[in-house]
Amino acid sequence: TILYKLKLGEIVTTIPTIGFNVETVEYKNIQFTVWDVGGQDKIRPLWRHYFQNTQGIIFVVDSNDRDRVVEAREELQRMLNEDELRDALLLVFANKQDLPNAMNAAEITDKLGLHSLRQRAWYIQSTCATSGDGLYEGLEWLSNSLRKAGHN
Q: Which residues are catalytic?
A: 40
> Which residues make up each annotated binding site?
17, 39, 95-98
> Which residues make up each annotated binding site for Mg(2+)?
17
pTM of the model: 0.82
> Which residues make up each annotated binding site for GTP?
39, 95-98
Instruction: Locate the DSSP E strands across the chain.
Output: 20-27, 30-37, 56-62, 89-95, 122-126
CB-based contacts of 39: which residues, under 8 Å, 6+ apart?
Answer: 16, 17, 60
Architecture of domain 2-148: 3-Layer(aba) Sandwich (3.40)
Q: Domain residue spans in the chain? A: 2-148
State pLDDT tens for residues 21-74.
666 777 777 777 777 665 555 655 666 666 778 898 888 899 999 998 998 999
State pLDDT tens for residues 105-135.
999 999 999 999 999 999 999 999 889 899 9
Distance of CA 2 to the CA centre of its chain: 9
Higher-pLDDT residue of 10, 77: 77
